[in-house]
Structure 1
Amino acid sequence: MAKKEKNIKKNKKRVIFPLGAKFSFFVALLLVTIMVAITAFLYNWMGQALEKEVKERGIAIAKNIANNAADPLIKNDDLPLAILTKEAVQTPLKFDKSINLNIDILNNILNIIKQGFTTSKQTQNIKNEGIYEAIIVRKDGTIASANNVRIIGEKYTPPAGVKKLSENEDTLVQDYTKGGQQYFDIAVAIGTIINNNKYRVGEVHLTISRSIILKVVMEAAIKIGLIIFISLILGILTSILLVNFLVRPIKYLVDGVKAIGEGNYDVQIKLKTNDELGLLTEIFNDTAKSLKEKELIKGAFSKYISSEVMEQIINDPSKLSLHGKRLKATVLFTDIRGFTSMSEKLEPEQVVSIINDYLTIQTDKIIKHNGFLDKFVGDCVMAVFGIPVPKEDDTIRAVRAAIDIRESVKKLNSIRERMKQLTVGIGIGLNTGEVVCGNMGSPQKMDYTVIGDNVNLASRLEANAPANTIYVSESTYLETKDKFIYKELEPIFVKGKKEAIKIYEPIEEKT
């Protein structure tokens, strides 16, 4: 007893994490993920776009120098070469190590915030600003001209990690690092044409710093990050307020679910709001009512119907009337011809075995075509198409099932004949019309079945049908004549009818 009380106290002390806190946490996590993803995407995208633009601009400048430097280079005219290299480097780049993203990032962020959003440089402003060095090299490798005049006349040595421009290459762009800074080396061959032959007379080398790209990209990324961060804070605050407002009605739903879990299906929640919670409350109340109806059906109905029919009724209890209902249905009767006299000559085990073989075939076909297997009466089968839930093709499926039974019995008889076993014939009758269906019987024994004159007529047709023959009434024929090939037979008189009944035999389904 003490142990039980201890467990109860333990359950009462269970820590519950508020829904608002969980929701806010996931909102924050989602927004952070989005913030990081967007920032990373934009950083990479802008970096690639700016890098491409800078390289293209550098190549264009280098090619322009190469096109104008050929003649002065051949003539050793230094003045035009000096002008070309000087104009290529419009603004000498002042290196700022804080531009490197790996160094002093916090200062970068603070500086960008101070500058404001209106002073950031746009992509189109990055032109010659990033060109650090312009060099014209003769074919023998000496520097003919450079913006840094102190290196003119020296032997040109490519930066570490940069390979020389080969004879087969006109343009070559390479990345390299020097002094902790990243650069592009753009090399363009200088050529001239003499007597229709192309000769290389030198090279142009431009050194472009990547720092300007990193600076612009970082500015944009930080600003976007700040905007998303502010959105994150606002989103968290909004989610907390919203969840606190929504959680209150959920308590009523929790109490209702607990009541249903304890078997109380009479619970109804009185909460009306014009939102999803109001809709959820309505659905909950409908579900409780539906569960109550289904429990009643299972308790009273599962004793005498198949699981398949039970599933149909459970899915839509409103269409089921246990107290009686008139509806249109097609009734099918079958009976084994002459089996009563044969059974007198057989052992009981043989009788049961033969009946079960033929009843199994008929049952399978009726279920296959979605019929309701009403009952077995000895070697007679009664099935109904149209209950518990009527469908438009009930009559068609009934005739189709009858033909299927007839053909299957023929196949079974053929097999039994080859095995030297007893064979039987089956007569089948079908009629379509209004019947009364419902829960019929006494408190001790009840059946869900159909009654009425149309049921009796189906039974009379089966009684008159010879072995392996199907008798179909005129009402069934009229509803299915477009689907099946029929043979009209001579009208017959049946018990309970003053006039002869028109009958038809279905041969096969039309293709």
Structure 2
Amino acid sequence: MADNVKEIYSVRKTRTLGFRLSLLVSAAIILFGIVSIWFVAFWQESSYKNEKRRQWSIAVASLLPNLANALSSDNSDAIKFTLDRLASKNEDIRSLVLADEKGRVVYSLDEKLVDKPLDKKTKAALSETNGKEEKSGLPLRQYSREIKTEWTSLGRIYAGFAVMNSLEKERQRSILALEYMIDNAVRNAVLSFDFYEADHIAHEIVKNVDDVKFFKIVAADGVILSSSDDKETLKQTEDARLSEILASEGVNRPVWTRMFKSEGARILEVTLVMIEGNEKLGAIQIGYDISSLSASVKRRNAILVLLSAAAVAIAAMIAIIIAGRISRPVAHLSHVALQVGAGDLDARAEVSSGGDEMRLLGSAFNKMIAGLKERDLIKDTFSRYVTKQVADEILKDPAGVSLGGVKREATILFSDIRGFTAFAERHEPEDVIARLNEYLAAMVDVIFKYEGTLDKFIGDAIMAVYGSPISREDDPLRAAMTALEMRERLKTLNEKWAAEGREPLKIGIGINAGEVIAGNIGDVRRMEYTVIGDNVNLASRIEGLTKIFDCPIIISGSVFEKIKDRVVAVKLESTFVKGKTLAVEIYELKDLAR
């Protein structure tokens, strides 16, 4: 019996080894053919990018003598003329900074940097050979060159250029040509304020161009003169980046490019600044769907693959025949993977062929799905009791769930409904719960808007924390803004309730800042992430003072000192509170400073 088992195992092992060897040989032949053809295609694209890099390097190097003379003679006009010319003639340029030998910025496309020292972080970012521009989403090739004479160093120039493949670059040039055509056609209409004519001309030019996702002609003040979306015409643009381009000083960078995804399509957006003399008339912006370029590349690659496959047809057929035993289970697993990716965690893999390995893989796959489902269930359930920030932090680091704590600076906000006990006695339970839930939902929205942590509900009271588990420099101001907006939200709710003939509510809010202990408190069977300490108690006491002083929002002296330049507050009489031997300095928060 044992010998039979060994023999069966030996045969199975031999077949498995033969299958793997034959598949490996066949795949190697196919791979060699495909890689050879792909190498040629890659080499061509690589050669194009290398040539562009060489051109950029030469462009920077050619400036060094002129910049050296200008820096030696402290001729800022010559520096500006030289670098403005480079920026205006090269649509690939994204960053251009010139610093003198002391590290002071003499010239920059970003006017905010001029006449300021070049800090280490900015200098390191500019010196990085391969970077990425966040605003445009384009990869960068950056150059840093020292400017010097025979005897001494005069400074350093930093230049960054956008890297695009050859097809994207050609499409950018096509869009620019179209924008220059529109510029020439509508310029007189814009100068004469004939916006209807400008809109008509732009639509006539663009309507016959395929794959244009959108276009805009925007005046220097941000008003949209013409748009592919007629609803936007003569309205102020909401595009923050376009507003930034129009607001930027100088006319040394007429072309702006960025790449992004929208509704599943890859969009190449090119913005051309319309310039008249030394003034900006506005900008022309075109968004082009370059998905067709990707489709063209895919079609080319498909042809290459087909040619490679045809050259090794016999080897491919052998590979297909041998691999047939596992193709069906693999396809099934792929289908299940797509279902899981789409969110269907009830999908299960049922593998009955393909050998022991595939069955083992199917079993492991099902265990993985079960684990994902359990994790989602835990996260969904857990998020009902703690804030999203805390839930995410604990799920990222389960080992961090302990009874320990840490001291940290935080701002604590308490709010409470005035006379809620009497209110509850006067109304039906269903009405009480409905009103309370409506109120709490509105208040929680405000807390989350300013990125506070909802610590807990204490009956009709709310406790919120700013600075734990995530700390920000402006936590006290966020808490103050939360309190002011909670007051306004309640005012809106009361107006709604009054219109419905229902009784209004009144709240009091107290805010304090200081050192607290933050951590998970409780038993391993039920823990709660919260903050405790004297400053938490003081925030609660201050909330209680709103009844005595008959004002809706009171902040402590520690909070006032941190935000006094940003708010309007009135000092109240210092007061003794429970647990404090000295009187507490308090202020009534009125509004934000204008």
TM-score (norm 1): 0.44
TM-score (norm 2): 0.38
Q: Which has the higher contact order (CA 8 A, sep 6+)?
A: 1
